[in-house]
């Protein structure tokens, strides 16, 4: 009986000790990440931990997008893939805004042919933001604004107006003498 | 002539169209980016299922329409589909859009189609609004991690760890529970290890045995003690030897067996704390 009690207590000590270490690591990570987010918000570039929280990755994408370093944001986006939808949506929104600003710069410089691809890229990033979170109202407004600049036009389809997915599938070849692929 | 009419009838019998009920999204008031959920219930003939491979694939169906996801719940003779569409039509004025029907196939080869629907897409901004950089909504704010849950988990696990540690210290009579009256052998084993002189050591172990027995334990009472505390049964021989040695030393009567009081008290203490 006493041995059982002692064994149960030892097990409880192991479990509570492990959860203490685990949650201690989580709290330490939160402190580090929140410090990084504050620094990024104040405009200091800081490196992130290897397994940084999605909030910290979101902050770094915002930091980079504001400074037009869009190539680096593309590397960070996959690390947000399994994070919260609203963080992913905001990150795409910030990238799209950066494209829009660059598009406006081209428009002010009078080079509309350079502005069009930027606005198109902004539109697809706004769409990504809305795919992540359909209720992101800011993304809706800015996407509509971008659509006013460069309208979406129907894609030319090879034959007919129907979506190719909706055409009946041709599963069997038209080889003569091979009805439905049978020998 | 007769078999000709049979041929005409045959497809109608084999391909009885299953009954479809749809719960379409509302027909009006959809903005850019809104999600439209369409539910379709199909009553299938017995033994027939919906061919999952023929279901429409989530994709950009058109430049203004996405199929986000499609979910199929199937029970015998009944299929329930949930299609989540997303509207990307930027309307300048309210405009009716037609979502196309999608062809699907049943396991018996029957072709059927999931019905489409129509909705009115509404504009978001007034048409007279400028599309200048000033109209662009600003970047989202930076967001800190909410630490409340992790902090609470750390506090709770620290408290649990401490409680378990205190409980173990109590059962093992560690400091500050080292004077626990319920651990006489543990206390005796610690003092015996420090004491010099076999008489003092024996005396300390006797006091511990008395405390454990709740009254003075003499060699004649040993079977009674072991019956009351069966966990000490494995040490019966050595306890008997200790009593005989003690009697020999005290009364000088019999031949004394050589019993190590230190080892015996240590083993008694180990059993007392559940270590053996």
Interchain proximity B139–A97, CB inside 8 Å? yes
Q: Which chain A residues have a beta carbon less than 8 Å from that of B101?
A: 166
Interchain proximity A101–B136, CB inside 8 Å? yes
Which of A12, A138, A155 shows the shortest C-beta gap to B137?
A: A138
Nearest residue of B to residue A93 by CA position?
Answer: B139
Beta strand segments in B53-152, E? 59-62, 65-75, 78-87, 95-99, 102-105, 111-114, 117-121
Interchain proximity A165–B165, CB inside 8 Å? no
What confidence score (pLDDT) does residue B3 get? Answer: 47
Domains parsed from chain A with CATH numbers:
27-152 (1.25.40)
Range B225-234, long-range pairs (CB < 8 A, 24+ positions): B231/A2, B231/B271, B232/B268, B232/B271, B234/B271, B234/B276
Interchain proximity B131–A143, CB inside 8 Å? no
Q: Does B115 touch chain A (CB under 8 A)?
A: no
Averaged over B151-172, what is the pLDDT?
Answer: 96
**Domain ranges, ordered by start, for chain B:** 14-124, 184-272
Model ipTM?
Answer: 0.81
Q: What are phi and psi of A86, to 5 degrees?
A: -70, -30
Lowest mean pLDDT segment, chosen from A156-160, B101-105, B130-134, B190-194:
A156-160
What confidence score (pLDDT) does residue B254 get? Answer: 67
Which of B103, B154, B165 shows the shortest C-beta gap to A168?
A: B103
User: CA-to-CA distance for B79 and B98, rounded, in angstroms?
Assistant: 24
Q: Look at domain B14-124 and name its CATH class.
A: mainly beta
pLDDT 10s digits, B3-52: 444 444 444 444 557 889 999 999 999 999 999 999 999 998 888 889 99
Q: Does A153 touch chain B (CB under 8 A)?
A: yes
Interchain proximity A94–B136, CB inside 8 Å? no
Nearest residue of A to residue B91 by CA position?
Answer: A144
- Measured from the Cβ of residue A7, the count of other Cβ atoms closer than 10 Å reads 11
Averaged over B257-271, what is the pLDDT?
Answer: 90
Residues 41 through 70 of chain A touching chain B, CB cutoff 8 Å: 41, 53, 55-56, 58-59, 62, 65-66
Q: What are phi and psi of B239, to 5 degrees?
A: -65, -40
**Lookup: tokens for A7:** 């064994």
Residues B143/A58, Cβ–Cβ less than 8 Å = yes
3-class DSSP string for chain A: CHHHHHHHHHHHHHHHHHHHHHHHHHHHHHHHHHHHHHHHHCCCCCCCCCCCCHHHHHHHHHHHHHCCCHHHHHHHHHHHCCCCHHHHHHHHHHHHHHHHHHHHHHHHCCCHHHHHHHHHHHHHHHHHHHHHCCCCHHHHHHHHHHHHHCCCCCCCCCCCCCCHHHCCCCCCCCCCCCHHHCC
Interchain proximity B161–A24, CB inside 8 Å? no
Interchain proximity A19–B153, CB inside 8 Å? yes
Q: Does A37 touch chain B (CB under 8 A)?
A: yes
Averaged over B138-165, what is the pLDDT?
Answer: 96
Nearest residue of B to residue A24 by CA position?
Answer: B154
Nearest to B231 by CA among B259, B267, B178, B262: B267
Nearest to B235 by CA among B208, B213, B200, B263: B263
Flag whether pLDDT at A183 surpasses 70: no
Interchain proximity B167–A9, CB inside 8 Å? yes
Q: Does B139 touch chain A (CB under 8 A)?
A: yes
pLDDT 10s digits, A64-111: 999 999 999 999 999 998 889 999 999 999 999 999 999 999 999 999
Nearest to B248 by CA among B234, B259, B264: B259
**Distance (Å) from the C-alpha of residue B56 to the closest C-alpha of chain A?**
8
Interchain proximity A144–B125, CB inside 8 Å? yes
User: CA-to-CA distance for B179 and B202, rounded, in angstroms?
Assistant: 20
**Distance (Å) from the C-alpha of residue A137 to the closest C-alpha of chain B?**
9
What confidence score (pLDDT) does residue B259 get? Answer: 83
- Predicted confidence band at B247 (pLDDT cuts at 50, 70, 90)? confident
Distances in whole angstroms, Cα of residue A143 to Cα of each of A93, A147, B59, B213: 10, 6, 20, 86
Nearest residue of A to residue B114 by CA position?
Answer: A166
Interchain proximity A144–B32, CB inside 8 Å? yes
- Measured from the Cβ of residue A80, the count of other Cβ atoms closer than 10 Å reads 21
User: Dihedral of CA A146/A147/A148/A153: which sign?
Assistant: positive
Which of A22, A130, A165 shows the shortest C-beta gap to B33?
A: A130
Residues B32/A127, Cβ–Cβ less than 8 Å = no
Distances in whole angstroms, Cα of residue A60 to Cα of each of A42, A134, B129, B176: 12, 23, 33, 51
Residues 96 through 135 of chain A touching chain B, CB cutoff 8 Å: 97, 100-101, 104, 127, 130-131, 134
Alpha-helical (H) ranges within B94-171 are 148-171
């Amino acid at each position: 009986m006493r041995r059982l009690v002692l064994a149960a207590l030892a097990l409880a000590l192991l479990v509570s000790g492990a959860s203490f270490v685990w949650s201690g690591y989580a709290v330490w990570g939160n402190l580090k990440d929140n410090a990084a987010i504050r620094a990024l918000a104040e405009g200091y570039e800081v490196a992130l931990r290897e397994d940084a929280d999605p909030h910290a990755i979101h902050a770094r994408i915002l930091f980079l997008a504001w400074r037009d370093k869009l190539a680096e944001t593309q590397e960070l986006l996959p690390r947000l893939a399994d994070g919260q939808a609203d963080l992913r949506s905001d990150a795409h929104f910030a990238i799209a805004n950066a494209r829009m600003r660059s598009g406006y710069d081209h428009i002010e410089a009078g080079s509309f042919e350079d502005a069009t691809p930027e606005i198109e890229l902004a539109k697809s990033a706004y769409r990504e933001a809305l795919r992540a979170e359909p209720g992101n109202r800011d993304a809706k407004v800015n996407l509509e604004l971008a659509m006013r600049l460069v309208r979406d036009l129907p894609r030319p389809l090879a034959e007919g107006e129907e979506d190719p997915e909706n055409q009946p599938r041709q599963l069997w070849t038209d080889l003569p003498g091979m009805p439905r692929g049978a020998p | 002539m007769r078999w000709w009419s049979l041929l005409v009838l045959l497809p109608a019998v084999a391909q009885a169209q299953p009954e479809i009920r749809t719960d379409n999204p509302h027909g009006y008031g959809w903005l850019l980016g809104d999600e439209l959920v369409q539910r379709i219930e199909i009553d299938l003939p017995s033994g027939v299922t919906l061919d999952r491979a023929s279901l429409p694939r989530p994709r950009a169906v058109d430049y203004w329409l996405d199929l986000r996801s499609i979910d199929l719940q199937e029970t015998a003779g009944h299929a329930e589909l949930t299609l989540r569409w997303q509207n990307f039509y930027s309307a300048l004025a309210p405009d009716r859009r037609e979502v196309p029907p999608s062809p699907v196939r049943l396991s018996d080869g029957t072709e059927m189609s999931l019905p489409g629907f129509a909705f009115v897409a509404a504009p978001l901004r007034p048409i007279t609004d400028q599309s200048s950089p000033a109209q662009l909504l600003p970047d989202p704010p930076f967001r800190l991690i909410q630490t409340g849950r992790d902090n609470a988990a750390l506090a709770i696990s620290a408290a649990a760890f401490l409680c378990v540690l205190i409980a173990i210290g109590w059962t093992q009579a560690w400091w500050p529970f080292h004077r626990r009256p319920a651990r006489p052998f543990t206390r005796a084993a610690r003092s015996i290890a420090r004491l010099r002189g076999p008489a003092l050591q024996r005396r300390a172990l006797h006091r511990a045995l008395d405390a454990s027995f709740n009254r003075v334990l003499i060699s004649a009472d040993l079977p009674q003690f072991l019956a009351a505390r069966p966990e000490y049964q494995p040490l019966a021989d050595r306890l008997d030897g200790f009593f005989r040695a003690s009697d020999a030393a005290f009364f000088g009567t019999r031949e004394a067996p050589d019993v190590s009081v230190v080892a015996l008290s240590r083993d008694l203490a180990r059993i007392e704390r559940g270590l053996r």
